[in-house]
Structure 1
Amino acid sequence: MKTLQQILYKVRLLSVHGNTNMQVNDIQIDSRKVAAGTVFIAIPGVKVDGHNFINKAIELGAVAIICEIIPTEKNDQITYVQVSNAHEAAAHMAHNFYDEPSGKLKLVGVTGTNGKTTIATLLFKLFSSLGYTCGLISTVQNQIANTIIPSTHTTPDAISLNKLLHKMAEEGCTHVFMECSSHAIHQHRITGLQFAGALFSNITHDHLDYHKTFDEYIRVKKAFFDGLGSTAFAISNLDDKRGPVMLQNTLAKKYFYSLKQLAEFKGKILENALTGLVMMINDKEVHFRLIGEFNAYNLLAVYGAAICLGENSEEILRTLSMLTSAEGRFDYIISNNGIIGIVDYAHTPDALENVLLTIKKLRKGYEQVITIVGCGGERDKTKRPIMAQIACELSDKAIFTSDNPRSEDPEEILKDMMAGLNSAARRKTLSIVNRGEAIKAAVSFANKEDIILLAGKGHEKYQILNGIQENFDDKAVLKEMFELLGK
């Protein structure tokens, strides 16, 4: 058990009122989870301010309050610590409280707009196959060896994250692969962690509802690499024009991967088909089960990280050649009469374009491509007409539908998507609010060897309507419609 003074190590303090030599049983940012002997950290959130719950936390047994604003009326029995940034303080305190777990592991972070889940999942599968006990922290799920823990955020809050890393270290994990979202970087959820390495996939139009400007989004991603130590490695995509920018100020050892330029990890696509990719990677020819140019980049990133972690080149490629991607990433099924259904998480303009361009390269020429796509409610509205345009340009038919409208009116979201289309594009589109009905319509239109792309939700098994989460699985509904309509 640690004292408050010990867990405040590295925290930027503004003032201290009371005793810091007390024993601490727990730390929490959620007042509802406070019990006797807990330190409560009052975090000002986007929707809820933890400062409003200080009295409740004290009633439940909090012995110390960490906050940015000291209450005007203080309890003499309670220690109050004023900090400059409560998010940052929570991260350092969690790392200290849980015995600095990241230092006991080889922790590798993956950031970028698209590809994070695939890269982190492939690294987890690769190193598990190589005989290591590994941890995974991702959008799809968290995992300790063979034990799966459901995931609620791409990157958990700082306390949950350090608690999870502590559990991974206790259970013998040697390597942990983690997605690092821009929200997590900006909100200091990963602050204080010791990373063995970090990877950058790409950066495109996303999360501007949160970051407001694209420049700010880039700056936040870059901050992750700026914070790496000199013993870490940093790997970036040289073919993304912001790839070199990410590593400009890092102290880590720099490496790049590329399909188009000279780089430490160089790839070339020899064949791209529904049976997989054939690639040259650093002069070795390998057949992979993954499909598409975007996965060629993901494989290069994984290969580079494995080399930097000290693994044998031939063993890496042999094992990688047998692996499949993360759930809901270019996940395809074929109906009884040969319709190809592809379920993909593509929910940004760039990701949607990549998937549709991959399909274009795979098609023989005469098949229809029918794309079902929506845009999330309470998220970046500026990408809605762009997503619609891409779907129309690269598909024979486009069906716009709901994709987690949340508390927004789904009809209004579809109107936002349609707003950017010219009359020619509008003629090939259909708007169907109900996602199940949209899938049914697409299957009814499809003939043998046509391709249906079901974009946006991927691995998600739910739909959020009017703030209520309901069960909905794209892949399961697609299979059901194939059977129902005798396709």
Structure 2
Amino acid sequence: MRTDERVAVVDRSKAPVTIHQLFSGILPQASYAAIGNRVIRGVFDDSRDVCADSVFVAMRGAVTDGASFAQEAARRGAIAVIGEDLAPVDGAVTISTPDARDTLARLAARWHGIDDPETRASFTMLGVTGTNGKTTTAHMAQAIMRAAGRRCGMLGTVQYDLCGHSVSAGMTTPGPLTLCRHLREALDNGADSLVMEVSSHALAQRRVASLRFAAAAFTNLTQDHLDYHGTLDDYASAKAGLFDSLDDDAIAVINRDDEYAERMTRTTRARVVTYGMSGGADITGRIVRDTIAGTLFQMRLFGEELIVENALVGRHNVYNALAAAGLAHAAGANASQIEAGLHAVRNIPGRLQRVPGADGFNVFVDYAHTDDAIRNVVSVLRPITPGRLITLFGCGGDRDRTKRPRMAAAAASLSDMVIVTSDNPRTEDPQRIIDEIMPGFAGAERRDTRVEPDRRAAIFLATELAR
């Protein structure tokens, strides 16, 4: 299979792994008995990376079917080829599995020792899912865990922090081979815990099927990724899959104020802890002061009161802080550690990130890629902006097209001026994307709307108009 993420999972420094050690409990013994108990040199899902004495897992993708590369994998030295309804392959044992993605996730965890009982007992995994807020919540949870004395890593949209080594993130939740390799590196670097963002794509594609989360948080759910999931209900079902996977000794941390809260916990076996700002939750927040410099808010954590001063701006970031507190509390952090950890959080890249150096005006950069996220941003900045609020945004290509006009309406709702530009069009015509954005401005109360497809020029225009 040709994948966007080529990872050769060969580690010659690790202890030898035999066929039986790799496959036991994952595949029927009869399916691989003919191979003997040979030592395996790697596990792959890309035929180009296959080496001698390795295993190739053929998965069906959106464009190609890994089965069409099974014979190539055998020619390159794979001794076992695994897939769904595979035709026999010359030179390798062909093993059928009902779910190749699930099998790959489990093999990746086994190969890197992530499913080892001792590792699972000593390594705390915390997950965050939702449409908006995952990155900020993950950063906050990591900060609290570190304030609690834990050596905590993080995997997310911005970067993978492996406790001593950080790499730029290729995707929010990487494929299982990359994911488990990073988890192994974090463990080898002394990590005792890790917070990770869990995307709906990852859940639908079983990328985290082999992991055991001690706690998982749900931030919110609004329309997004319908280009992939098809319907909002299917999107919600994918998100709910994280909570369905939790063991009965795990904790589900749920935003009680979100309309999909009940959907997330309908079938979970985990203990449910709720958070919110409307009252009635286990963890609640109330804003005391919200300024351009940050937010002061009161948190009640299972009846215990905390006063939290945080450099991040806005009501939505208080929600993120409550979710992070719930996760870290589930992992053993106490109230004072939660307070200290949240106080330590400063700018998070691309999350209402304040950019220094502007002369006479404030500049914020935010990842907002849905109408709900844009609405959150302008709702936060409007009351604390004494002058004009200028919003510049674009929509990514090859993604949910239905949200484009809604993002325009959200931006126009509280902005004095909106500048529409191009934002990673991928394979789409940038002008077509802009044309699909513009109807969202119809009837909106706004002073000015500009279009500048060149993003650099659009940023220059915005800063000139702000002076």
Pairwise same-fold verdict (TM > 0.5): yes
Partners of 1:320 and 1:399 lie apart in 2 by 34
2:205 paired residue number: 187
Distance 1:185 1:4 in 2: 28
Q: Percent same amino acid at aligned positions?
A: 35
Amino acid at match of 2:50: V
- Select 1:314's aligned residue among 314, 319, 336: 336
Partner of 1:155: 173
Query: 1:158 Cα deviation (Å)?
Result: 0.8
How many Å separate the matches in 2 of 1:318 and 1:436?
A: 39
The counterpart of 2:103, out of the listed 78, 89, 93, is: 89
- 1:113 is aligned to 2:131: yes
The secondary structure found in structure 2 opposite 1:142 is strand
Residues 46, 10 of structure 1: alpha-carbon distance in 2 compared, 3 angstrom cutoff: farther
Query: Would the aligned equivalents of 2:105 and 2:210 in 1 still touch at CA under 8 Å?
Result: yes
For 2:383, the equivalent position in structure 1 comes to 361
2:24 equivalent to 1:2: no
User: d(CA) in 2 for partners of 1:424 and 1:36?
Assistant: 62
The answer to whether the Cα contact below 8 Å between 1:230 and 1:252 also exists between their aligned partners in 2 is yes
Q: CA deviation at 1:230?
A: 1.1
CA deviation profile, 1:295-327 (whole Å, cap 9, x unmatched):
000111111122211122122212321221421
Partner in structure 2 of residue 392 of structure 1: 412
Q: 1:338 aligns with which of 323, 341, 360?
A: 360
Give the distance between the partners of 1:32 and 1:405, measured in 2 at CA. 29
Select which of 127, 141, 146 maps to 1:128: 146
Post-superposition offset of 1:34: 0.9
User: Does structure 1 residue 299 correspond to structure 2 residue 310?
Assistant: no
d(CA) in 2 for partners of 1:100, 1:322: 30
Please list the CA deviations of residues 370-427 of structure 1 after superposition, one character each: whole Å capped at 9, or x if unmatched.
Answer: 1111101010000001011111122111111111001111000000001233266687
- Match of 2:174, SS state, is coil
d(CA) in 2 for partners of 1:140, 1:242: 26
**Structure 2 counterpart of 1:480:** none
Distance in 2 (CA, whole Å) between partners of 1:426 and 1:281 is: 36
Q: What secondary structure sits across from 1:362 in the alignment? A: coil
| Equivalent in the alignment of 2:293 | 275
Equivalent position of 2:7 in the other structure: none
Q: Which residue of 1 aligns with 2:60?
A: 44
Match of 2:78 among 62, 72, 76: 62
What SS class does the counterpart of residue 346 from structure 1 fall into? coil
Q: CA deviation at 1:145?
A: 1.6
Residue of structure 1 aligned with 2:455, choices 424, 428, 435: 435
Q: Kindly provide the amino acid, as one letter, of the partner of residue 232 in structure 2.
A: F
SS at match of 1:420: helix
Deviation of 1:97 (Å): 1.8
Aligned Cα root-mean-square deviation (Å): 1.9
1:196 maps to 214
How far is the alpha carbon of 1:284 from its aligned partner? Answer: 2.2
Letter of the structure 1 residue corresponding to residue 227 of structure 2: D
Name the SS for the 2:399 alignment partner: coil
* Contact kept in structure 2, 1:109 and 1:180, CA below 8 Å: yes
**TM-score (ref. length: structure 2):** 0.91
CA shift in 2, pair 1:229/1:424, >3 Å: closer
Q: Give runs of aligned pairs for residues 165-180 of structure 1, distance below 5 A.
A: 165-180=183-198
Cross-structure match for 1:28? 44
| Further displaced range: 220-229 or 49-58 | 49-58
Structure 1 residue corresponding to 2:427, chosen from 392, 397, 407 = 407
CA distance in 2, matches of 1:165, 1:318: 26
Q: Which moved more, 1:9-18 or 1:376-385?
A: 9-18
Deviation, 1:430, is 1.4
Q: Is 1:285 aligned to 2:285, yes or no?
A: no
Please, which moves more after superposition, 10-19 or 318-327? 10-19
Q: How many residues align?
A: 443
The SS at the match of 1:361 is coil
Residue of structure 1 equivalent to 2:9: none
Deviations 1:181-206 (A, max 9, x none): 00000000000211111111001111
SS of the equivalent of 2:423 reads: coil
Which runs of 5 or more structure 2 residues have no equivalent in the other structure? 1-15
Return the alpha-carbon distance in structure 1 between the equivalents of residues 373 and 265 of structure 2: 23
State the Cα deviation string for residues 408-466 of structure 1 (Å, max 9, x = none). Answer: 1100000000123326668721111100111111112113xxxxxxxxxxxxxxxxxxx
Q: What is the one-letter code of the residue matched to 1:368?
A: R
Query: Are residue 259 (structure 1) and residue 274 (structure 2) matched?
Result: no
Give the aligned residue type for 2:244.
D
